[in-house]
A and B are shown apart, each in its own frame.
Chain A
Amino acid sequence: MQQSQSSKTPKRPLQLRDANQTDLSAWRKKGRTEPEKSVQDHQSPNDQKNDNEEDSLKQAFRYFEEVQDRVSLKNSILQEHLTTVESVALQRGLPPEGFNVLLNVALSGKFADTVNTRILKSLVPASVIPEDSVVSSVSWLCVGKCSGNVQLLFLKWLITVFDFIDQKEQLNALYGFFFSFLQDEKMCPFVCHLLYLLTRKENVKPFRVRRLLDLQAKMGTQSYLQALLSVYKLFCPELVTITLPRKMKAYFRDPEGPWKAAINTVRQRNQGNTQVSRSLFLGTAQPQSQKRKWNTQISIPASSTNKNNLEEDREKECVDLYSTNESFPVEQLQTFSQLVQNIHCLEFPSQMGSVLTNPLLLHYMNCFRDESVDLRLYYWMNQTLQQECTWCVADNSQYEEEFKNFLETLYETECFLQEGFSSCEEFLYKSLPLWDGFCCRSQILRFVSWIPLRSSSEIKSHLYGPLAQLFFTSSVYFKCSVIESLKELLQNWLNCQVTHLDSESDSEGHSSNTTLSGLVNMVAELINFVGRISTVALRLESSHTLLLHFILDFYETVCDMYLRYDLPLLIMPPPGVFYAALLSMDSVNLNQLCYIMYRYRTNLVTAKENELSKKKILQFKFSNQTYQEYNKYLTAMVGCLWTSNAFQKDIHPQGISMDDELLRKTTVPDFKTSFNIVCHPALMTYAFFYLQQAFPDDTTVDFSLIKGKEWNRYLEYLYLQGLNGLKVFIESSVNRISQASHSKSENV
């Protein structure tokens, strides 16, 4: 192939997206000769294309670096290079070296505004952005050689790619410069956003606070000014004395721009080639799959300056140990031992979101939790959840997998910290009415289980309402999942209460927002809600076994609230649940019901004893109504299982008492003694196998053989089959009068 400058080379712009790249002369520029990339080399087409692209990119950079005077827009060479840069940027992102050149060119006013705008819009990073380029571009900004629009665009870009700048030390040193830009009204919102991201404790100075307050007086209460003031207030509350709204919905408008979409595209393409950050999990390396902006791990800088800092830190530490103000650079936190050594001088990274995927920082956050951390995390999570929600914003449907992973990460963090985030709660309230019950189902339901135990009035309308609507119209499996997550919600509330009680006994200054009665009310409301929806659900699904199992699981937690969690509340299951379980066709649910009734009895008996013994001064006691309700259920149950007179003795208004007339019509012989532990539909199979075992020669199945001594043996047989609930229930609630004359082994 010839390498001479061929006159036939086009002034056409480079078509990098063409699959055919055989015309090598197509990318000659300015008549420079390049070493030949021979087609006869055994390079794959992809490599060749990449090399071509890199070369043309390098040439573009060189061009921009060297161009001296104003070049007219019509210059084709300029257009070519511009297109090169744009296309590479949108496909793969620009390498770090390019930013210096491009930023200098864009902000120095050498070219016209359109060129500058195009350059700025194509500044998509492939990996990181070197800090020096940003610093030098800020200096250009100060000189003010570029137009106002370009300045605004630069600020928007800076806000969007903030996470990609590898270090922020020098940038923080320029804080004052950024601050001075607040004067300009157009730039003010963006400068506020940038300062919000940059601010550290040492940046909060009284004169800056005064300046902000003056601005606020001049321009009125703007959300961005309030945001910055609230950050200042968190770092130094004594300097900012005005009152600020506690939590605002959205402080900053999202800076629109093409970069976000382009960054996502680049990320997806680079799926296999991520080399940005190594995994920071304890010891074991885990492969990092596709990450989105919020999953940015803190990248470990390759430069050596930080190492020097570390040395200095160590020296200073030797001199006076714990009074140094130097903080351990968070980017270097890699192992658990490092965390333990430097735990007193760590600082949170500026992008709070990266805390979620870093287990070391999570430990740190667990120990040192204060309002500023909460607010920063709250704001960031709010924004991300709203923007990326896949059913609130239809365009996000392709990112459902990633959104699911994000929600999983949030859930795991909540589990670790053992408390729920208020931004997750608000996200639930906002998106639950619009939810179809399908997208990210298990993740959303798990969020339900971490709703914090604070707000009472909101929960009813925002959670119970939409959840009930979804619950009634969905499949039986969805119903089971909802009941399960409501059970976990109850458990989390109870655990939270117990730990608060513990910590209160240690430290008196702890102020709890919920008094005991408030807590009791909320828990009671939840249990009543679940009782109602369970009754309806069992009716809708005709007592589906799996559903009943989950409902009984819920009541297993409820029955022990007094003894296990010290909560003076006892609520019996509604008759719709109780009778459905009593008359169920399978023994598992019956067994569980027996166990639950046994636990209720234990709780009630202990409460009565405590009340009578007056050892503890009780502020409550269970009402007579509770005891009566329990007794009614107990009568029905014992009648069903033991004394064979279920239908006569049941006094519960929604119970199973029936007239003798009706029972006679069934033509069942001896109907008065035919329904008990032997003939119960759930236990009949056990009776059948027992008869086979006990009377192997008898071919007829005669249940009436099981009486007297056989009855006891049958009971033992049942216990051996694993029906422990039945065992404890019978032993505790049934008085065996005639035991003395029968078998020896009785322990009641």
Chain B
Amino acid sequence: MAVLRPFNKLPELNSAVLLLVGSEGDFPQKLAETILQEKRDFTVNIHIATSLPLPSERDHLRPRIDMIVFMIDIKNKHSLKNVEDSLAHVDARFFLGKVCFLVTGVGRVNCCSVDMNAVWKLGENYCSPVLFCELELEGTRVSTAQRLLRMLQICAGYVPGVSALYFNTLMTSFS
């Protein structure tokens, strides 16, 4: 199946799965490592892909994905294009709270080749929150990892009374 679907498999007990989609060097790797170092009481599996669609040979091995994080590097025009193309391979139901955009590179304003407005527009069109991070700096990376972990916890359903959709509505309704 070329399109990612949110509920195509049964979930595993006490675990959550995160998918990082982005084409930047080893940033996804570093972020994944930082996330796995955080203290938590459920197991986390992180899958990394440079773009969608995912290769279909490994479909049966892949568990149900709880949250997708699209990583956009502001210094690189192709990164945004890549993400936009990948979005077409995601089922619409994912956007009911299980998608998030992570933008890196804002600290180097001089090398921006992507307009910030385009990123905000993307977040608005797909009703998903946009987070910012400078992945080279450790402190920021750790705190972003913690935030993603909390969002993952909600998307996987480990917070009673708060569904992913409800949380998403909160994140996008105050501005």
Contacts and interface: CB of A to CB of B under 8 A. Distances in A.
Interface stretch (A171-179, A464-472, A483-491): A464-472
Contacts of B160: 542
A117 to B, nearest CB: 24
Interface stretch (B4-12, B56-64, B87-95, B139-147): B139-147
Interface in A270-311: none
A475 B147 CA distance: 8
A222 interface: no
B49 interface: no
B24 interface: no
B151 A473 contact: yes
A468 B140 contact: no
Contacts of B122: none
B175 A436 contact: no
A392 B109 CA distance: 8
B140 A469 contact: no
B139 A439 contact: yes
B150 interface: yes
Interface in A416-448: 433-439
B22 interface: no
A348 interface: no
Interface in B111-150: 129, 131-134, 136-137, 139-140, 142-144, 146-147, 150
B132 A469 contact: no
Contacts of A466: 175
B106 interface: yes
Interface residues of B, number: 30
A436 B174 contact: no
B106 A392 contact: yes
A465 B175 contact: yes
Nearest to A436: B140
Contact of B174 (A397, A437, A468): A468
Nearest to A468: B174
A391 B106 CA distance: 8
Given A436-B133, A472-B167, A536-B170, A393 B144 contact: no
A539 B174 contact: no
Contacts of B146: 474-475
A435 B139 CA distance: 12
Given A392-B109, A394-B136, A472 B171 contact: yes
Contacts of A475: 146
A261 interface: no
A76 interface: no
B171 A436 contact: no
Nearest to B149: A473
B78 to A, nearest CB: 21
Contact of B139 (A394, A438, A468, A536): A438
Interface of B: 106-109, 129, 131-134, 136-137, 139-140, 142-144, 146-147, 150-151, 154, 159-162, 167, 170-171, 174-175
5 contacts: A391-B106, A436-B144, A437-B147, A475-B146, A539-B161
